[in-house]
Structure 1
Amino acid sequence: MAFAPLEPSLWFATASPAPETGALESAISADVCIIGAGYTGLSSAIHLAEKGTAVVVLEANVIGFGGSGRNAGHCTPTFHHHSLAGVRKILGEPFGTRFIAAQANAADLVFGLIDRYGIDCDAVRTGYVEAAHTPAVFARIDAKNADYMALGKRTQVLTKAETERRTGSQRYFGGWLHPDGGHLNPLSYVRGLARALLGLGGRIYTQSTVISIKPAGTRWQVSTSRGSVTVDKVVLASGAYSTAYWPGIDRTFARLATAAFATEPLSPELIESIVPENNTVVETRSDPASYRITADGRLVTTMMVEGRRGGNVDYTRMIASRRFEWILPQLRGKRWEYYWYGELDMHSRTFPRLYDVAPGIAAATGFSGRGVPTGTAVGEILADWAFGISRKDLAMPMDPLTTVSPLLNLATRVALPYVRLVDQMSAWRYGIRPPKY
């Protein structure tokens, strides 16, 4: 299928250069082949290469073409839609506790890789603010804070005044600060991971669409139109940009379009009035506004889209402006200079699943927008699998490949207007009248 181009994005204009790569044009062999040069695939490859495993990464387009090169660059090592008890219930034990640890420590993993390999990606670790959009939500933050403090995190509840100071908005009733969070240029980060892998002796082939994966004796042969890789194990890590190179892999999730926006550069004084601590900010709404400031002084946000919202560019820009002029009146009159699209691999549980696809083949899909931290962490888990760690000892359970109902794509699109209505109604209870978005 045709995906939206990467070139209109702010990141394409500002990212560090990609390492030089080319298409696979011969028959080669390795220990592991990874399909997808995004966070998950490259993190997996790096963790394998660090242990001496011969790794080949195949990418259908360019490094970071998918969600890894298009997202807003937030690094938030938390669960937005679930309590920790909820995660444990979904995954069961011991996997729930293990995956919570992997996610909670994912920012350490991300910034550790950045430091270890000298990745130039405008990374800052100034903390993540979750802003409560109603008093009822704020009343539940104490319990969330206690959960994360029990994991050893230095989180804290923020008063309304402190939340207003850190977010620049009077619309929130308090908040929660996770100091491990941060933000970065997402395309620079994924390109830096690729450069790190090449430095470890790994091989990356771009413009190399996989057309088949077939048994080759006791091994697997992964073929493109002009070459092939024969390996012991295969990792499918192409997320929302998966196509039918393996039967059903592109039907393990619902594909949901998103739009991203970046303003014109803002003055230092205006930036100081919005995020004086350079935090990354995410609301508690089901369809949240989120924002952060880039290295060149722009506010970046993303928005899930469907129908007219997304299909009509001028209308979508208007919706984004209306929403942010309500949240941050000081932005009134500022224009959106960049506007681009991406796709999410949505799953009903809103965090990824690991799949036992076939003997020697594993996959991960369903990231649901959990990009920088979760993609990097799941890549390490897939590396553990490929290195030979027993399934029972992994940080996530491995499920049989399970396709979602075609109705999930429809349900996702129907659910978006519904959750926005729920968000509006929850605000109306307190006399809050946010604009329709």
Structure 2
Amino acid sequence: MRRLYEPQAYDRDVGSYWQTTATPPRWPALKQSRAAKILIIGGGYTGLNCALELAEQGIDPHSIVVLEACQPGWGASGRNGGFCCTGGTKLPVDKLIARFGEDETRRFFKQQTASIESVRENLSRYHISADTHSNGETQLAHRESEMAGLHAEKQQMKDLFSLDCRITEKPGLSSQGLASPEFHGALTTPLGFALNPMKYLSGLAQAATGIGIAAYGGTPALSIRRAGNNWQTDTPGGHITADNLVIATNGYSSEDVPDWLSGRLLPVLSNILLTRPLTELELNSQGWTSHQMCSDTRKLLHYFRLMPPAEGEAGPRMLFGMRSGTSATPASMAMMHRRIRADFDRFFPAWRGVETPSSGPVWSA
């Protein structure tokens, strides 16, 4: 497989904390050739949701095949920040309207809110317990001048989408458990929630195999080509001939499987660190006690949230993520780790001495 970035970017085991919280099913490798009505390459959120939705729509589950190069949960779906929210673009609402028109902007927003409800429905439908928390998302102004934009966004959300957002001025942050010298106010949007991404992924994987969907792990797609009116995919254990093909590999896609995928995706590396459990004294010393999922107003933003205490742990952990560079060499990764730790210490000065035993990269596209 031809990749855009260094081999370290595609490491299968990065010591993610999420791996300690849930164990997705291990799928057997494909051992012989077979046929399928629908072949889905990629066993993350996209691939599993696609398979489950097709089965819900009446496609025979036994005719659906999901291929995973490793095992479910190894990539971005199993080691992301766990933010189920809107935010699929860096363009502000007024620029979206200027470029695409008001109707398309409304449609785009409805699609984002529908995706949140889709996750909520999945949690209920498949009885997945994923440590959900946070009432919507909070965007924090990293400069005083950013508050004007948050006020404008609040009004746009009301005018365009009939959505009541809440502004918190700087003096009110501490009373909401959001005390940090970094921020000058906030906008809270009442959409979305946070969750444990590995528990969600595990639940989807169990639901898929539970209804008879054929899922194979340790089975990379080595080639994809047309075979008459069908698609044929070669794997180390045999080939699959399918009527329909879905590629759901996102940031971990190859540039040459198939060749026409080359140049269509630009994966971006994100870094996440996680503290040890924090004590009540440490939480109160910083003044950050809210479990609200948050991000700042930077273009290359930071995202962070206190997580509910895990079973057997006395206090919550703080998850803290940020965009990284476009290189995964050991030197680049070490530099990014130093940077994210420095930013964490600046945001939360009372936690400068708090250990962050879990950290690692994740690609998304």
Match of 2:133 among 121, 124, 128: 124
Instruction: Report which stretch shifted further, 78-87 or 53-62.
Output: 78-87
Instruction: Give the direction of change, closer, same or farther, for the CA distance of 1:315–1:294 in structure 2 (3 Å limit).
Output: same
* Aligned-partner residue type, residue 336 of structure 1: T
Cα deviation code 1:313-370 (max 9, x no counterpart): 665443333212221122121111112122232xxxxxxxxxxxxxxxxxxxxxxxxx
Instruction: Say what the alpha-carbon RMSD is for the aligned residues.
Output: 2.5
Structure 2 counterparts to residues 297-312 of structure 1, below 5 A: 297-306=316-325, 311=331
Instruction: Report which stretch shifted further, 238-247 or 2-11.
Output: 2-11
In the alignment, what sits opposite 1:199? Answer: 210
8 Å contact 1:125–1:179 — kept in the other structure?
A: no
Structure 2 counterparts to residues 10-409 of structure 1, below 5 A: 10-14=17-21, 16-53=22-59, 54-79=63-88, 81-88=90-97, 95-149=104-158, 150-164=160-174, 165-243=176-254, 244-271=256-283, 274-295=287-308, 296=310, 297-306=316-325, 311=331, 315-345=335-365
Instruction: Give the direction of change, closer, same or farther, for the CA distance of 1:31–1:96 in structure 2 (3 Å limit).
Output: farther
8 Å contact 2:37–2:242 — kept in the other structure?
A: yes
Match of 1:5 among 12, 20, 24: 12
8 Å contact 1:126–1:277 — kept in the other structure?
A: no
Distance of 2:123 and 2:207 partners within structure 1: 10
Instruction: Give the direction of change, closer, same or farther, for the CA distance of 1:248–1:337 in structure 2 (3 Å limit).
Output: same
Distance of 1:192 and 1:8 partners within structure 2: 21
Distance of 1:161 and 1:105 partners within structure 2: 34
What count of residue pairs does the alignment treat as equivalent?
A: 344
Shift of 1:223: 2.2
Cα deviation code 1:229-253 (max 9, x no counterpart): 2222111110110012111424212
In the alignment, what sits opposite 1:388? Answer: none
Normalising by structure 2, we get a TM-score of 0.85
Distance of 1:337 and 1:10 partners within structure 2: 9
Distance of 1:340 and 1:128 partners within structure 2: 23
Instruction: Give the direction of change, closer, same or farther, for the CA distance of 1:202–1:281 in structure 2 (3 Å limit).
Output: same
Local SS of the residue matching 1:19: coil
- Aligned-pair identity in percent equals 26
8 Å contact 1:166–1:279 — kept in the other structure?
A: no
Instruction: Report which stretch shifted further, 79-88 or 184-193.
Output: 79-88
Cα deviation code 1:159-205 (max 9, x no counterpart): 22333434221321211112222211112211211112222332211
Cα deviation code 1:28-84 (max 9, x no counterpart): 223211111111111122111111224211111111222111211122223451223
* Aligned-partner residue type, residue 45 of structure 1: A
Distance of 2:281 and 2:115 partners within structure 1: 33
Distance of 1:44 and 1:84 partners within structure 2: 29
Unaligned 5+ segments in structure 2 are 311-315
8 Å contact 1:131–1:163 — kept in the other structure?
A: no
Shift of 1:294: 2.4
8 Å contact 1:84–1:100 — kept in the other structure?
A: no
Runs of at least 4 residues of structure 1 off by over 6 A? 307-310
Shift of 1:210: 0.5
* Aligned-partner residue type, residue 128 of structure 1: E
Shift of 1:101: 0.9
Shift of 1:117: 0.8
Normalising by structure 1, we get a TM-score of 0.72
Unaligned 5+ segments in structure 1 are 346-437
8 Å contact 1:309–1:315 — kept in the other structure?
A: no
